[in-house]
Amino acid sequence: MTAPRLLRRRTTTPARIVSGGSSNTSLPGDLLVETCRRVRALGVVSAGLWSFSILVNAVVAPLLGRPAILDQVWPWPALHVAGFGLLLAVGFTVVAVRMAGRPEQLVDASAGFFLLNCFLAALLTQWVPPPITPRLSWLAVLVLIYPAIVPLSPRRTLLISLAAATMDPIGLGIAELRGVPFDHAPFYFVWSFLPTYLCAVIAVVPARVIRSLGQQVRRARELGSYRLEALLGRGGMGAVYRASHQMLARPAAVKIIRPEVLGEHTAAKARVILERFRREAEASATLRSPHTISLYDFGMAQDGTFFLVMELLEGLDLERLVERYGPLPPERVVHLLRQVCHSLEEAHRRGMVHRDIKPSNIFTCRMGLEVDFVKVLDFGLVKLQDDEGAEAVKLTAPNATAGTPAFIAPEVAHGGRPVDARVDIYALGCVAYWLLTGQLVFEARNPLQQLLQHINDAPVPPSRRIELPIPAALDEVVLACLAKDPAGRPASAAELATRLEQAIGPARWDVERAVAWWERHRPESVELPEPEATEPGRAPAATLEVAR
């Protein structure tokens, strides 16, 4: 599983939600997001049905011979009503897309859209009421379907359903005002409208069931003192949720592995997953660098769910930073990388090798009053340097190479060679290359070709891959990090930080420039990145195990 995307979100971001659940629905945030998708689909389906109605009334009905009674009292308004319904459905779909970041308001708007559609349907149903025998209204079907699509509280469901059922009497009243004759006997009214009102009462049942399920999911998502809210990301090892402490106001990010996830793998693979999870927890808890992600809690819930509770960061990873805003100025690259070196230097001195340094595992954040504050994430592949030759649980599957192909050192790609802290130096050189050029060091059609290029091919200097000026000294430092022989690389992260500072000369990414950039591009909390992609030319955001 990749590093969690630990982000706060703008409430105006489409398809994003920060609430743990709605007071009207009692659903967790990610389930409410799914409800919003269904609401948008409701608009699309409605548009399709009204379009079909136009086709039937404009083309099919004349061919089949429309009953004359439909035109005797008043011209049959099917085309006009269906046309209005189509415009209404299209307009609602557009509004639903724009309101995706406000799910509770969207649910309220869907109620109005539902009632308007019921009115249009009732208008057509009661346009020419049967003179003697009443008929069952189509509103009964609509009243039963709506609560299953839009989960509301039972009370609100009942009120909206009763209002929808009342559209039939309103339609009949309009028909009477137009002078349409029909039977005014009580039996007629009871037989015509009672089934629809009964359906309105029955609609409370699915509303109660959905509400109960939402509450069960909410209770199931309470891990210790933390309550899970919105889903932030999902990977092969589990999922990451935004969470809140039930006693404190502090938000957090919770990475979980549920028992059923482990059950989907072999015993050996499940053991590898749990070992990575444990290693990540131990590494994060041991390291004290301010540039390493902070761990709040670690444990196992009563249902067997393993969880990590980490700080929730306000920022974006370096992969998305370059994808959205292009290559960075050399002085900013140095500013960011030196902070990564601070985190890695502490880890290396404690005998830990990260082994999965890549742009998507490095975040630049707001931290208090500071901006462009770097955090290194995901120590799930961390390796203790004294593990060589020991019978420790390996962190990769048999015959596999751990890491991300675009950022793997040659000795790791080759396999069977000793691994030390210099593999992180190589990966950080690949990150520097990405930040300076917006391109990978080696681009290939598949991971295996990429691994072979890391082993055999000489990298092109960054300055030759982009028109923007890059100091020659910085070129040299990056190429030194990418040396095939580990002995040719900087000996430590601290040495690399020093060489980076010397390579940039007097140019500096100072506080004023950093603040100006964030105010211009990221003035508010940022949204969750889109799902990762790993096609050539982009920095892969997933950790891969490549079979050898």
Domain boundary among 282, 310, 338: 310
> Range with the lowest mean pLDDT among 72-86, 112-126, 140-154?
72-86
Place of tokens 């949720």: 241
Place of tokens 């109605």: 53
> Range with the lowest mean pLDDT among 124-133, 147-156, 395-404, 505-514?
395-404
Residues 270 and 175 in one domain: no
pLDDT averaged over the chain?
Answer: 78
Local structure of residue 292 (DSSP, 8 states): B
Query: What pLDDT is recorded for position 331?
Result: 97
Residues 391 and 535 in one domain: yes
The rounded distance, in Å, linking the Cα atoms of 125 and 127 is 6
Q: Angle at Cα 360 formed by Cα 355 and Cα 361, nearest 5°?
A: 45
Q: Range of 423's domain?
A: 316-547
pLDDT 10s digits, 1-10: 343 333 333 3
- Are 415 and 400 within 8 A, CB to CB? no
Instruction: Show which residues are catalytic.
Output: 356
Query: What pLDDT is recorded for position 360?
Result: 92
Q: Is the C-alpha dihedral spanning 142, 144, 147, 149 positive or negative?
A: negative
In a domain, 24, yes or no: no
CATH number of the domain encompassing residue 291? 3.30.200.20
Q: How far is CA 51 from CA 88, 92, 146, 293, in A?
A: 12, 15, 20, 54
- Are 526 and 377 within 8 A, CB to CB? no
In a domain, 473, yes or no: yes
CATH number of the domain encompassing residue 382? 1.10.510.10
- Are 125 and 138 within 8 A, CB to CB? yes
Q: What is the mean predicted confidence (pLDDT) over 506-534?
A: 72
pTM > 0.75: no
The rounded distance, in Å, linking the Cα atoms of 89 and 195 is 27
Q: What is the mean predicted confidence (pLDDT) over 41-57?
A: 83
- Are 428 and 308 within 8 A, CB to CB? no
> Range with the lowest mean pLDDT among 110-114, 276-280, 308-312, 472-476?
276-280
Residues 396 and 522 in one domain: yes
Q: Which are the contacts of 285, defined by CB distance < 8 A and separation ≥ 6?
A: 295, 298
Query: What pLDDT is recorded for position 389?
Result: 42
Residues 45 and 177 in one domain: yes
In a domain, 14, yes or no: no
In a domain, 415, yes or no: yes
The rounded distance, in Å, linking the Cα atoms of 306 and 217 is 17
Is the confidence at residue 397, as pLDDT, over 50?
Answer: no
- Are 490 and 499 within 8 A, CB to CB? yes
From the DSSP assignment, how many helices (H) and strands (E) are in the chain?
Answer: 20, 13
The rounded distance, in Å, linking the Cα atoms of 227 and 267 is 30
Into how many domains does the chain fold?
3
